[in-house]
Amino acid sequence: MTTGAALQLSRDKLLQAYRTMRTIRDFEERVHEEFEAGHLPGFVHLYAGEEASAVGVCLNLDDEDKICSTHRGHGHCIAKGCDVTGMMKELWGAADGLCAGKGGSMHIADLSKGMMGANAIVGGGPPLACGAALAAKTLKNGKVAVTFTGDGGSNQGTTFESMNFAAVFDLPVIFVFENNGYAESTASSWSVACGDIVNRAEAFGMPGMQVDGFDFFAVHDAAAEAVERARTGGGPSLIEVKFGRFYGHHEGDNQSYRGKDEAANLRANHDCLNLFRQRVTEASLLESADLDSIDTEVAALIDRAVQDARSAPRPTPEQLTTDVYVSY
Amino acid sequence: MARTLSMRQALSEAFHQVMEEDERVIMLGEDIAGGKGAPGDQDAWGGDMGITKGLQPRFGEERVLDTPISESAIIGSAVGAATCGLRPIAELMFVDFMGVCFDQILNQAAKFRYMFGGKAETPVVIRTQIGAGYNAAAQHSQCLYPIFAHIPGIKCVVPASAYDAKGLMIQAVRDDDPVIFFEHKVMYDEVRDEVPEEPYTIPFGEANIVRDGGDCTIVAMARMVHKAKEAADALAKDGIECEIIDPRTISPLDEDTILESVENTGRLVVVDEAYPRCNMATDISALVAQQGFADLKAPIEMVSPPHVPVPFAPELEEAFIPTPEGIAKAVRKTVGYAG
Ligand SMILES: Cc1ncc(C[n+]2csc(CCOP(=O)(O)OP(=O)(O)O)c2C)c(N)n1
């Protein structure tokens, strides 16, 4: 479903969309390499292939709008404006990482950007997003909240409760379900009993849209509609974004549960960055050269981020016991 | 015949044997086989740590159920099925996720026998992973077993060896009460010891005396048993002999073995990877302070992490987890206590 409204975006917005998607992609590809080389500790879940979702949604938001993310949160963080170097440092566990090295990949947050946190608890985000939306509604500030949830997380009780709650209170919240086909190794075609997650919207009394998640424009248009509805008091919406992930569930996953050549096929034929490039150049909205220069800039940015992360100060044992309680 | 097995292998063997011997035993959890509904391999994962691999091909999808991510439904239906004739083993992938299904454990499983006047049986086993050491940060690294030990009606198992893991798991499945089986994720491959091939059980509430010694009692559980052993080896070089007690089950708790040991040594160090407030170290210390006070020659020492969430950065996580050096220091403090 491409209504084409997003094709009317300003040149600046289009460049920003591409730059952000490219930043996420390069960030993830680099993290993959660094993890393979044994430079990164912890559990890492890559978002590569899903960029159009985070960016398509977040381009409709500003710093005052809130998002709640998942364990696969790097893309959401970058799309919401988190500092890429701070994120890279966080993955390294550096003392000056975005969360002082205490959170790591699964817990990156920057409240000043409206990024309320990646979340390692599946289904942890939707209730929090309802809270953010409740705050916006109570304060009458016209702000909205978005919660990103996977297909797996769509089956969580917290998610169901939140959708009902949001509908009952007409909360300005958008439930984005990123259906990449799997929850760890389990297929969503099996685990989501009603087939498509979008079908659940009706049960909760809210509008639902299903979009091709490889198509930035489709995601953007659906999100724009949902955000507009939320901002103008129209209550919650559900968006199911369908696509696939380029990598395994987490780094180190051998992916034997996947179809043969599935990931390779995604890369070859369903790469949201290539599709974006094709679309904007064919419509003469941007030149290839514009995009190439973004590619070069972003590559340098990611390189610098990695260099900075490598040489960043390490936390000291004294920092173990700070931040436990707020100081009164 | 006994062979050397890892805790991973020992648990796997226990599952095969209990499912073989009793058709009422079923297993359910997220990705416990893996690949459900996917185009590639089925039984692709055998759980996120590969512990349950091979069970579904052998016992079939009706007895080994891969589930959606819905912990309240997973744990709750295991509890419900347990009251209706099955003996389910349900997996809550990480104990940190217990928040999403806590009611089914706390107010349902734990309460039936008592609330229903002793007439209900709930033979369910809930397996879950605990522990720091993988840089998995605050929501994947906790040792929350004291929370469950706090609740009457649930038995809590915290094995420290492959031998114990197998015997306690078989016991847990044959037990008619709800049992939570806490597996330290770092121990699956780190710990190896001799395990008999045939099925055997270890009764709950019987501590294991891991090491004899007359100078100081160390009570430790799960991975901390191994840190305590290292500490004891180092202390033995200086002529300080520690007795290490591993309770194995923290509910029921073998109070007698702990008290008897303190009676002999007169000193107590309790090591617990769980957060320090209201953990097993405080509980066991209170027990000994109350019932073994006359035996004590020195104040009780507790070795636990600081009262903070588990941090991500490797240096911080390392500083979080109790060390053999820290344990040895605590022992020396009790031994050097001059009244
Ligand atoms: C409450 C809870 N249950 C289980 C897990 C383990 N877990 C982490 S990610 C994941 C799969 C999530 O799948 P999905 O929601 O589809 O997101 P995706 O990984 O596909 O982006 C699972 C089961 C968890 N972190 N939290």
In DSSP notation, A166-200 reads HHHTT--EEEEEEE-SEETTEEHHHHSTTSSGGGH
Q: CA–CA separation, A328 vs A310, rounded Å?
A: 35
Q: Is the CB of A76 under 6 A from ligand 1?
A: no
Q: Is the pLDDT of residue B112 over 70?
A: yes
A123 within ligand 1 shell (Cβ under 6 A):
yes
Within 70-89 of A, beta carbons closer than 8 Å to B belong to: none
Measured from the CB, is residue A182 less than 6 Å from ligand 1?
yes
**Structural tokens at position A139:** 């304060």
Q: Is the CB of residue B69 less than 8 Å away from at least one CB of chain A?
A: yes
Distances from the Cα of A60 to the Cαs of A54, A116, A141, A217, B144, in angstroms?
A: 10, 17, 16, 12, 41
Partner-chain contact B135 A185, CB within 8 Å: no
Q: A173-179 and A237-242: which strand pairing?
A: parallel
pLDDT digits (tens, 9 = 90+) for A122-178: 999 999 999 999 999 999 999 999 999 999 999 999 999 999 999 999 999 999 999
Alpha helices (H) along A172-287 = 188-191, 200-203, 216-231, 262-269, 272-282
- φ/ψ of B198, rounded to 5, equals -75, 160
Contact status of B49 with chain A (Cβ, < 8 Å): no
Place of tokens 């409240």: A111
Q: Which residues of B touch A43 (CB under 8 A)?
A: 134-137, 140
Tell whether the model's pLDDT for residue A76 goes beyond 90. Answer: yes
Mean pLDDT of A186-195: 96
User: How far is B261 from B252, CA to CA, in rounded Å?
Assistant: 18
pLDDT of residue A3: 56
* Cα distances (angstroms) measured from residue B96 to each of A197, B19, B101, B142: 27, 27, 11, 6
DSSP codes, B138-194: TTS----HHHHHTSTT-EEE---SHHHHHHHHHHHHH-SS-EEEEEETTHHHH-EEE
With CA atoms as reference, the chain A residue closest to B29 would be A186
- pLDDT tens per residue across span A7-42: 899 999 999 999 999 999 999 999 999 999 999 999
pTM (2 d.p.): 0.97
Under the banding of pLDDT at 50, 70 and 90, the label for residue B240 is very high
Cross-chain Cβ contact A43/B136 below 8 Å: yes
Identify which has the larger pLDDT, B2 or B129.
Answer: B129
Per DSSP, A313 falls in state P
Residues of A in contact with B315 (CB under 8 A): 93, 314-317
> CB-CB: which of B38, B309, B314 is closest to A187?
B38
CA of A123 to the centre of ligand 1 (A): 8
What are φ and ψ of residue B243, in 5° steps?
A: -100, 125
pLDDT at B339: 79
Q: pLDDT class for A4, splitting at 50, 70, 90?
A: confident
Query: What's the pLDDT at A1?
Result: 44
Q: Do A183 and B40 touch (CB under 8 A)?
A: no
Segment B267-320, tens digit of pLDDT:
999 999 999 999 999 999 999 999 999 999 999 999 999 999 999 999 999 999
Sequence-distant (≥ 6) Cβ neighbours of residue A79 within 8 angstroms:
A20, A24, A54, A55, A57, A58, A59
**Whether pLDDT at A75 is above 90:** yes
Beta strand pairing call for A237-242 and A145-150: unpaired
Question: What ipTM does this complex have?
Answer: 0.95
Active site residue B16: no
Give B222's pLDDT tier (boundaries 50, 70, 90): very high
pLDDT band at A6 (very low <50, low <70, confident <90, very high): confident
Mutation target to probe the A interface, by most A beta carbons within 10 A, among B42, B134, B316, B321 is B316
pLDDT of residue A7: 83
A328 has pLDDT over 80: no
Q: Strand runs (DSSP E) across chain B, as ranges?
A: 2-6, 25-29, 64-66, 87-94, 125-130, 155-157, 179-184, 192-196, 208-211, 216-220, 242-246, 249-251, 268-271, 301-303
Q: What is the pLDDT of residue A53?
A: 98
DSSP H or E run through A296: helix A288-311
